[in-house]
């Protein structure tokens, strides 16, 4: 059985940040990713706040476009524009590869195409290729349906299902467009530009998943003057929207920490989670090195607790009714009512 100080499950932004931090602190780190390449296939709208550079540092070639504003469309009304909304559109695959490269340089052993079969009650990771690995700490950065989270009883039970297509842009655009409607239950639609193309998508409650395709087709056809008909790529996935989970537990003597989507850190209203994934991953790597799980939980609560709790309240308010335009505005971050 292979031994390590820290085993990281998942090499998305949370896992790569965790692996790098734990390795920098002198731990023997093994990180496993079921995908064969960093960030591929892309399952992300790829928008991040401009301030992510403070956490990540130089982004090199991972930025596709800068965003300056946000336009929110409520039902058929004209757009409400928030002029000062700086952000970045990423090349998510390049972003993930950048973070993995930093983890490797820090000394982490990053392995792709490795699938976890199960975690035993004693904390042993059994892989599908028949190998086994034991570590004194496991960091679950394995997404909204985290196997690590399931093993310690911290499970995301509220999800949004998404579908996204990449389409050509007919003209340059520097805003993120948000579409709010009672016809998009439990979520919203978006158009996020990336140079000469854009990510066009929608998210809904799982019970309405069958409506995703027609919802997206309606959005697409309604934007015919701005985007082309050709679909260049299609993707989708689940986003946790139930708020912060208990981010640690134990399997025997093995400490288990959760980071990113596995810890429920995606915003329940916007679905944004990349910046929180990177920050929580770094903190998880630190906690794995020093063994202080209680301090890790306290830091996550201090950093994200209030914002996640507000977003969860707003989301649940919307889910309890057929939302009016006023309710849709109260439930979205661009409006003062959201913050009251």
Q: What is the per-residue pLDDT for 53?
A: 67
> Tokens in use for 159?
């999800």
User: Which has the closest alpha carbon to 337: 328, 268, 241?
Assistant: 328
Number of domains in the chain: 1
Question: What pLDDT tens digit does each residue of the chain (340 aa) get?
Answer: 999 999 999 999 999 999 999 999 999 999 999 999 999 998 899 999 887 766 677 787 899 999 999 999 999 999 999 999 999 999 999 999 999 999 999 999 999 999 999 999 999 999 999 999 999 999 999 999 999 999 999 999 999 999 999 999 999 999 999 999 999 999 999 999 999 999 999 999 999 999 999 999 999 999 999 999 999 999 999 999 999 999 999 999 999 999 999 999 999 999 999 999 999 999 999 999 999 999 999 999 999 999 999 999 999 999 998 899 999 999 999 999 999 9
Taking CA atoms, 69 is separated from 79, 174, 276, in Å, by 12, 7, 21
Gyration radius of the chain over CA positions: 20
Residue 77 lies in a domain: no
> Cis link prior to 41 (omega < 30° from 0)?
yes
Residue 100 lies in a domain: yes
What is the separation, in whole angstroms, between the first and last Cα of the chain?
54
Q: What is the per-residue pLDDT for 61?
A: 85
Strand, helix or coil at 233? Answer: strand
| Cβ contact 193:167 at 8 Å | no
> What CATH number should be reported for the domain holding residue 257?
3.50.50.60
Strand, helix or coil at 157? Answer: coil
> Tokens in use for 21?
């931090």
Q: CA 19, CA 11: separation in Å to the nearest integer?
A: 8
| Cβ contact 291:36 at 8 Å | no
Residue 335 lies in a domain: no
Residue 305 lies in a domain: yes
Which pTM value belongs to this model?
0.94
Residues 6+ apart with CB under 8 A from 308: 243, 244, 264, 265, 267, 268
Sign of CA dihedral 315, 317, 321, 325: negative
DSSP state of 253: T
Q: What is the per-residue pLDDT for 50?
A: 86
Residue 177 lies in a domain: no
| Cβ contact 5:28 at 8 Å | yes
Residues 6+ apart with CB under 8 A from 329: 74, 180, 335, 337, 338
Q: CA 132, CA 12: separation in Å to the nearest integer?
A: 22
The range of the structural domain enclosing residue 259 comes to 2-65+91-158+241-317
Residue 101 lies in a domain: yes
Q: CA 121, CA 104: separation in Å to the nearest integer?
A: 29
Strand, helix or coil at 86? Answer: coil
Residue 268 lies in a domain: yes
Residue 34 lies in a domain: yes
**Strand 175-180 relative to strand 189-194, pairing:** antiparallel
């Amino acid at each position: 059985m292979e031994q390590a100080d820290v085993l990281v499950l998942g090499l998305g932004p949370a896992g790569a940040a965790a692996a790098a931090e734990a390795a920098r602190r002198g731990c023997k780190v093994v990180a496993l990713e079921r995908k064969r390449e960093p960030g591929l296939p892309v399952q992300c709208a790829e928008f991040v706040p401009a301030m992510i550079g403070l956490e990540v540092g130089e982004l090199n070639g991972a930025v596709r476009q800068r965003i300056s504003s946000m336009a929110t469309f409520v039902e058929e009304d004209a757009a409400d524009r928030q002029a000062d909304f700086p952000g970045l559109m990423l090349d998510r695959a390049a972003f993930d590869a950048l973070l993995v490269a930093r983890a490797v340089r820090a000394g982490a052993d990053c392995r792709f195409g490795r699938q976890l079969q199960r975690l035993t009650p004693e904390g042993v990771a059994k892989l599908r290729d028949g190998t086994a690995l034991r570590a004194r700490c496991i960091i679950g950065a394995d997404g909204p349906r985290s196997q690590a989270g399931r093993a310690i009883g911290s499970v995301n039970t509220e999800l949004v299902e998404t579908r996204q297509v990449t389409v050509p842009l007919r003209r340059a655009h520097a805003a993120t467009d948000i579409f709010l409607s009672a016809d998009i239950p439990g979520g919203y639609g978006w158009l996020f530009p990336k140079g000469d193309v854009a990510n066009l998508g929608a998210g809904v409650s799982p019970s309405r998943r069958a409506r995703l395709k027609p919802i997206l087709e309606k959005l697409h056809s309604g934007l015919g003057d701005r985007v082309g008909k050709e679909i260049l790529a299609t993707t989708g996935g689940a986003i946790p929207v139930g708020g912060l989970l208990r981010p640690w537990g134990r399997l025997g003597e093995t400490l288990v920490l959760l980071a990113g989507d596995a810890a429920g850190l995606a915003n329940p209203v916007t679905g944004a989670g990349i910046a929180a994934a990177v920050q929580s991953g770094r903190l998880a790597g630190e906690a794995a090195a020093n063994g202080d799980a209680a301090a890790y939980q306290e830091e996550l609560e201090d950093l994200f607790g209030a914002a996640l709790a507000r977003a969860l309240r707003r989301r649940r308010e919307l889910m309890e009714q057929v939302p009016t335009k006023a309710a849709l505005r109260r439930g979205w971050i661009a409006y003062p009512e959201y913050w009251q």
